[in-house]
Amino acid sequence: MTTPAQPLDCDVLITRATVLTMDDERRILEDGAVAVHGQRIVAVGPSDELKARFNPVRAIDASGRVVAPGFIDSHIHSSRHVVGGRPYQRAPRAHLLSKGGQVEAFVAELSAMHAVHADSELVHDATMALLISQIRGGTTAFLDAGGWNVDGVGAAVQEIGMRATLSPVACDLTPLPASPDTFPQRIHDADTLLAEMDAQVQRWHGAADGRIQSFASGVWSLNASDELLRGLASIARARGTGMHLHLAGVANEAAVSRRWFGLESIPRLAALDVLGPHFVAMHTYFSSDEDIRLLAESGAAVNQAPIGSALVGRGLGAARSLPRQRAAGIPIGLGSDLGGVAVTMFDVIRSALTVYRDGAQDDLALGVEEALWMATRGSARCLLRGNDLGAIAPGFLADLIILDVSGARYAVQPHPIPALGLLASPGDVETVIVDGQVLLDRGVLTTIDEERAIATARQAVRRFLAT
């Protein structure tokens, strides 16, 4: 007769849940359980089996609930939450990015925007409101696609407990206002920018027990010189981290890149040896077959941001890049590309389904399960964590969400894939765990005083607008 094994210690044991794993087999477990110890998931299986195997510090009965990997927004501009908080304008400037885009004007605006000064305290205080809204929306990690004052963003992330990849961004060119057709003028010294970038990456990469990463990134290929682009890729490779750029996001970009640099954006990056598995291409809606071949061969990942891009009329659905990129085997993540407007990944997933299906005039253009995969596994790959983030599987980082699906809207559609992809809203997110730590506990934020943080954020934005 064998004696039963002693139960193993674990920090959190969630039982009686419907577990949407998003693992390699895309398993869904009914009456499932997840055991978490330290930063990682240690076991996934039937409730009765895991209850017998583990002796948890904290047991969570998740009857009537879905447990899923936390969403990952792999294209956010967190500190734009400050400068994006400008007063509502009834008649904003039209057609900057629609109708093919006014590329020269937009490059000039982006280059100028990066000279805006926002101090660490201001960015910390304002970003906190965005992070609260993201956690409440089931987002556990994000890739910052650039903004102001990475130190302020990093401090807010560290305090609230989310996972983030920070990206200070660099640009050294802007078009000549009098003659936008000619090669752009230099506004910064590339070596100085690269030295600052390397220092920032070293300061943040691996911070908070590895919860925070830092990429070496530019803004757009059009406002970066060859030496800046090569230097950023060298830092990413030397420091074992990533790099991203906004690319092929409007139809007119290709012609401007040819005029200024003699090559379209993605072939130019390939010629400069900037592409590789460390590289994340933001947008790429207007990528040619040659672009897609170069991205796929290099092992780069892509982020598509349907809601942020469709709102400004870029035409990404009609460009139909998504099915071609998927067919080429490029890993694709989803993001919001919105900092000032705190949308959640529920909005991003639904906008992906509507934009890509409508643009292709094909309701099979993107499946709900595939959209959820892009918002978890695909985005994890954009954070260079394709092998240990974005799924509920042993050895993966314990970033997960528990949703209450006992309400009326789930009565007719209880399957977890349509429930999460089509029906759920932030109000259903009950508990959020990041890196093994419970950040939202049955609706209450555990790491910060939420009311005070929101009031402080409001004051910070007012202070910035008054300057």
Residue 75 backbone phi and psi in degrees, to 5: -160, 85
Residue 235 binding Zn ion, by CB under 5 A: no
Residue 334 binding Zn ion, by CB under 5 A: no
Site stretch for Zn ion (CB under 5 A), options 5-13, 25-33, 142-150, 296-304 = 142-150
- Give the span between the Cα atoms of 58 and 405, in whole angstroms: 22
Return the residues of window 266-285 that contact Zn ion according to CB under 5 A. none
DSSP 93: P
Site stretch for Zn ion (CB under 5 A), options 59-67, 272-280, 332-340, 353-361 = 332-340
Question: In this structure, are residues 78 and 134 in contact, taking their beta carbons and an 8 Å threshold?
Answer: no
Site stretch for Zn ion (CB under 5 A), options 55-63, 95-103, 137-145, 347-355 = 137-145
Number of Cβ within 10 Å of residue 153's Cβ equals 32
Q: What x-and-dash track marks residues 163-202 binding Zn ion by CB under 5 A?
A: ----------------------------------------
| Residue 309 vs 431, nearer CB to Zn ion | 309
CA 165-168-173 angle, 5° bins: 140
Burial of 272 (0-12, 13-18, 19+ CB in 10 A): middle
Shortest Å, Cβ 321 to Zn ion:
16
Distance of CA 248 to the CA centre of its chain: 18
Shortest Å, Cβ 261 to Zn ion:
21
| Residue 337 vs 450, nearer CB to Zn ion | 337
Site stretch for Zn ion (CB under 5 A), options 129-137, 145-153, 168-176, 250-258 = 145-153
Shortest Å, Cβ 216 to Zn ion:
16
| Residue 19 vs 334, nearer CB to Zn ion | 334
| Residue 264 vs 337, nearer CB to Zn ion | 337
**Residues in CB range of 40: below 8 A, 6 or more apart:** 388, 395, 396, 397, 398, 436
Question: In this structure, are residues 425 and 416 in contact, taking their beta carbons and an 8 Å threshold?
Answer: no
Site stretch for Zn ion (CB under 5 A), options 141-149, 296-304, 363-371, 384-392 = 141-149
**Residues in CB range of 57: below 8 A, 6 or more apart:** 9, 10, 11, 12
Q: How many CA atoms lie within 13 A of 152 on its CB side?
A: 26
Site stretch for Zn ion (CB under 5 A), options 158-166, 337-345, 379-387, 416-424 = 337-345
| Residue 337 vs 430, nearer CB to Zn ion | 337
Shortest Å, Cβ 6 to Zn ion:
51
Site stretch for Zn ion (CB under 5 A), options 49-57, 106-114, 162-170, 334-342 = 334-342
Shortest Å, Cβ 311 to Zn ion:
12
Distance of CA 383 to the CA centre of its chain: 8
Question: In this structure, are residues 67 and 19 in contact, taking their beta carbons and an 8 Å threshold?
Answer: yes
Burial of 237 (0-12, 13-18, 19+ CB in 10 A): middle
Q: How many CA atoms lie within 13 A of 255 on its CB side?
A: 10
Return the residues of window 198-227 that contact Zn ion according to CB under 5 A. none
In 39-189, which residue ranges form alpha helices assigned H by DSSP? Answer: 47-53, 80-83, 103-113, 120-136, 150-160
Residue 253 binding Zn ion, by CB under 5 A: no
Shortest Å, Cβ 150 to Zn ion:
15
Given 337, 404, 428, 435, the residue binding Zn ion (CB under 5 A): 337
- Give the span between the Cα atoms of 138 and 324, in whole angstroms: 29
Residue 145 binding Zn ion, by CB under 5 A: yes
Q: Give me the residues that bind Zn ion (CB under 5 A), please.
A: 145, 337
